[in-house]
Amino acid sequence: MLLNAKKLAFLGLLLSVDIILIVLSAVLEINTLFLLAAASFCVGIAIREGGKTIGLGFFLGSLILGIILAPNKAYCITYAAMAMYLVIIENAFDLLLRIKSNNTRKTLFWIIKYLVFNLLYFPILILLPKLIYLGNIDIRIFAVLILAGQVALFLYDRGYEYFQGSIWGKIRKKIKLD
């Protein structure tokens, strides 16, 4: 898919906003997850505006630039997981559009969302637990972290849906990308 000059320039500016949010997440420690989530939302915008291939390229470019420029490289792992979740979910949504039944589509979509999230979350929780919890992790804390992750996914996903539906929809009309 060819991009017109306006969309290409927009995606370049969006990439710069994405990187600024990643860098700020390391500078403003109290807003780390919020800023990383906002940065990952930029990947979702790139997918919806440029298509799957452009969105994937945007994600990879933002990840490489984030690793190069971010003061705290560990936050790039969190960003990568959040953005990869959006890349997979946006592609899954397009595939599920072929299903006629709306209820079946919604149910499958939520199942895919939780499967994808847990496939990204469990390896981080097992291999890099200090990224999530700094203390010693026993079985009770591990169980709490699993449940907290599921709640965090629900909140993150609802935030993303609201952002795409309400906020980005209004901004898109004002900048006239088509």
Looking at this protein, which amino acid is placed at residue 163? F
CB 11 within 8 A of CB 46: yes
Looking at this protein, which amino acid is placed at residue 165? G
| pLDDT tens, position by position, 130-175 | 777 777 888 898 899 999 999 999 999 999 999 999 999 888 888 8
Instruction: Go through the domains of the chain in sequence order and give each one's CATH number.
Output: 5-175 (1.10.1760)
Specify the pTM: 0.90
| pLDDT tens, position by position, 2-59 | 668 888 899 999 999 999 999 999 888 888 889 999 999 999 999 999 999 999 999 9
